[in-house]
Amino acid sequence: MTRKLTIGTRGSKLALWQSRHIAQRLRETGVVEVELEVITTTGDRLVDRHPGQMSTKGIFVKEIEDALLHERVDLAVHSVKDLPGELPAGLTLAAHPERVDPRDVLLTRDGSALEDLPQGVVLGTVSLRRRAQLLACRPDLRFTDMRGNVDTRIRKLEAGQVDGIVLALAGLQRLGLVDDRCWPIPVETCLPAPGQGILGIECRTGDDEVITALKRLDDADARREVTAERTVLAELDAGCLVPLAALARIQVGCMVVQGLVARPDGTEILREERQGSPDAPARLGHEVADALKSRGALELLRAARESARGQLPADG
């Protein structure tokens, strides 16, 4: 491809790493010229504002998607876990490169495991999904909002503002920040957000030249897994601010799809799991979502949205 491609990206270190990584992958496939355009999103501008004053769905991607639709940029690289369940008309996720570790990680100053933390320690996270599941294991834990990018939150930990922080392990791996202070949390304890550990490369549906170039980066297993997980997300009409989790893994020719909805305080956890062919990821996602609905998941999510006032998702 001789056409120059422009990647729209946020300005955080993680977003820039992801976009530069995909730019290099594209160059290796023969794309001659790739450049980045940094775009400030609503989430970046209003990180200290009360989200009750705005819609929280897609606040970290809307301006980038607008730039795509208006042909200011040609593609965008997202952490799939940050995307709403449905994309705007005219846009598609053309590629999902290989998945990295989807687990959450507990980061403390001494590398403590969850079970070794003293009673009543304070953990920093804005995620109700993480809070609910960790409280189900350790009701004594206390939580405080921890906003900002990965570096900002690590600095707050080092300054003693909290006893630990909970992040996506994938972000730390991509930034080269995994060290002996990190304790990966088993998925049995904390099921990840839908799409965690997977990048999604978004472009216009009618841009065949870009779609063809991006397809060279697509990983079949990552695409199947993210399809199942995002089906659970879409079927439950959930967003970033509610305690919903989903994880699909392909093992020896079988796909296992897990879904979870929780009460924000961790006192009620609904889990469902289905297994089947990796060639039917959407069907398995539908089955998990339907099973959760039959057990009252929609009512729990409605209650969680009320509790989510004052929360705002952030990188990591």
Mean pLDDT of 234-243: 82
- CA–CA dist 151, 128 (Å, integer): 21
Which residues are part of the catalytic machinery?
82
Mean pLDDT of 240-246: 86
Residue 308 pLDDT: 62
Q: How confident is the model at residue 147 (pLDDT cuts 50, 70, 90)?
A: confident
- CA–CA dist 268, 250 (Å, integer): 28
pLDDT tens, residue by residue, 282-304: 999 999 999 999 999 999 998 88
Model confidence pTM above 0.75: yes
- CA–CA dist 250, 26 (Å, integer): 26
Q: How confident is the model at residue 242 (pLDDT cuts 50, 70, 90)?
A: confident
pLDDT tens, residue by residue, 196-234: 999 999 999 999 999 999 999 999 999 999 999 999 999
pLDDT tens, residue by residue, 67-98: 999 999 999 999 999 898 889 999 999 999 99
Nearest Cα to Cα of residue 138 among 187, 183, 190: 190
Mean pLDDT of 110-127: 96
- CA–CA dist 60, 105 (Å, integer): 22
* Token reading at 82: 């940050």
More confident residue, 85 or 260: 260
Q: Which domains does the chain have, with CATH numbers?
A: 104-184 (3.40.190.10)
pLDDT tens, residue by residue, 301-316: 988 887 666 554 555 6
- CA–CA dist 278, 122 (Å, integer): 40
